Structure 1
Amino acid sequence: MLAACGSADDSAEQPQNQDGETEQQTADQGGKADQEATFPVTETDAVGNEITLEKQPEKIVSMVPSNTEILFAVGAGKAVVAGSDFDDYPEEAQKLEKIGGQEFNVEKIVGLQPDVVFAHESALGVGEEGLQQLRDAGLTVFVVKNATDFDETYGTIQQIGKLTGYSAEAEEIVSGMQDKVDEIKEKAEAVTDKKKVFVETSPAPDIYTPGSGTFMQQFLDIIHGENVAADQQGWVMMDPEEIVNRNPDVIMVMYDYIDTAVEDVYSREGFDAVTAIKEKAVIQVDENITSRTGPRLAEGLEAVAKAVYPEIFGEAEQDEEDQAA
Structure 2
Amino acid sequence: MTTLHRAALSLSLLLAASGCRGRDPSRAALPESFTAVDDRAPAPRRVVCLVPSATELVFALGAGDRVVGVSTYDDFPPEVTRLPRIGGMTNPSFEGIAALRPDAIVGVEGPTDLTALRRLRSLGIRVVVPRVESIEEVLSGVDLFGRLLRRAPEAAALRRRIASELDAVRARVANRPRPKTLVVLGRRPLVVAGPGSWIDEVLTLSGGANVVTAGGRYPTIPRESLAALAPEAILDLTGHADGAQLQGELDGVDLPAVRNHRVTTLSDPMFLRPGPRVTEAARQIAAALHPD
Counterpart residue number, 1:21: none
Where do residues 270-285 of structure 1 align in structure 2 (5 Å cutoff)?
271-285=252-266
Q: Distance in 2 between matches of 1:269 and 1:87?
A: 32
Counterpart residue number, 2:128: 142
The answer on whether the counterparts of 1:74 and 1:173 sit within 8 Å (CA) in structure 2 is yes
Give the TM-score of the pair, scaled to structure 1: 0.76
For residues 240-287 of structure 1, the C-alpha deviation after alignment (integer angstroms, 9 at most, x for no partner) is: 11112211111100022x344x22222225545211111111101144
The answer on whether the counterparts of 1:61 and 1:109 sit within 8 Å (CA) in structure 2 is yes
Which one of 57, 75, 79 corresponds to residue 92 of structure 1? 79
Where do residues 108-123 of structure 1 align in structure 2 (5 Å cutoff)?
108-123=96-111
Runs of at least 5 residues in structure 1 that lack an aligned partner in the other structure? 1-6, 12-44, 312-325
The answer on whether the counterparts of 2:49 and 2:70 sit within 8 Å (CA) in structure 1 is yes
Letter of the aligned partner of 2:217 in structure 1?
G
Runs of at least 5 residues in structure 2 that lack an aligned partner in the other structure? 1-8, 15-28
Counterpart residue number, 1:68: 55
Aligned to 1:198, the other structure's residue is in SS state: strand
Q: Distance in 2 between matches of 1:194 and 1:134?
A: 46
Aligned to 2:111, the other structure's residue is in SS state: helix
The answer on whether the counterparts of 1:253 and 1:284 sit within 8 Å (CA) in structure 2 is yes
Letter of the aligned partner of 1:289 in structure 2?
M
For residues 39-78 of structure 1, the C-alpha deviation after alignment (integer angstroms, 9 at most, x for no partner) is: xxxxxx9531044262111100000001101111111111
Q: Distance in 2 between matches of 1:134 and 1:300?
A: 32
Give identity over the alignment, percent: 23
Q: Distance in 2 between matches of 1:66 and 1:282?
A: 27
Which one of 274, 279, 283 corresponds to residue 302 of structure 1? 283
Q: Distance in 2 between matches of 1:183 and 1:216?
A: 18
The answer on whether the counterparts of 1:286 and 1:300 sit within 8 Å (CA) in structure 2 is no
Q: Distance in 2 between matches of 1:279 and 1:182?
A: 30
- Per mean C-alpha deviation after superposition, the further-off stretch among 127-136 and 60-69 is 127-136
Letter of the aligned partner of 1:148 in structure 2?
E
Superposition deviation, residue 119 in structure 1: 2.5
- Judging by fraction of residues, say which structure has more strand: 1
Aligned to 1:57, the other structure's residue is in SS state: coil
Residue 183 (structure 2) pairs with residue 202 (structure 1): no
Q: Distance in 2 between matches of 1:259 and 1:184?
A: 26
Superposition deviation, residue 111 in structure 1: 2.0
Q: Distance in 2 between matches of 1:46 and 1:173?
A: 26
Q: Distance in 2 between matches of 1:68 and 1:286?
A: 20
Superposition deviation, residue 310 in structure 1: 1.2
Counterpart residue number, 1:182: 167
Q: CA RMSD in A?
A: 1.9
For residues 1-31 of structure 1, the C-alpha deviation after alignment (integer angstroms, 9 at most, x for no partner) is: xxxxxx64655xxxxxxxxxxxxxxxxxxxx
Counterpart residue number, 2:273: 292
Aligned to 2:106, the other structure's residue is in SS state: strand
The answer on whether the counterparts of 2:193 and 2:199 sit within 8 Å (CA) in structure 1 is yes
Letter of the aligned partner of 1:226 in structure 2?
A
Superposition deviation, residue 232 in structure 1: 2.7
Residue 241 (structure 2) pairs with residue 267 (structure 1): no
Residue 117 (structure 2) pairs with residue 128 (structure 1): no
With a CA cutoff of 8 Å and minimum separation of 6, indicate the structure with the bigger relative contact order: 2
The answer on whether the counterparts of 1:196 and 1:248 sit within 8 Å (CA) in structure 2 is yes
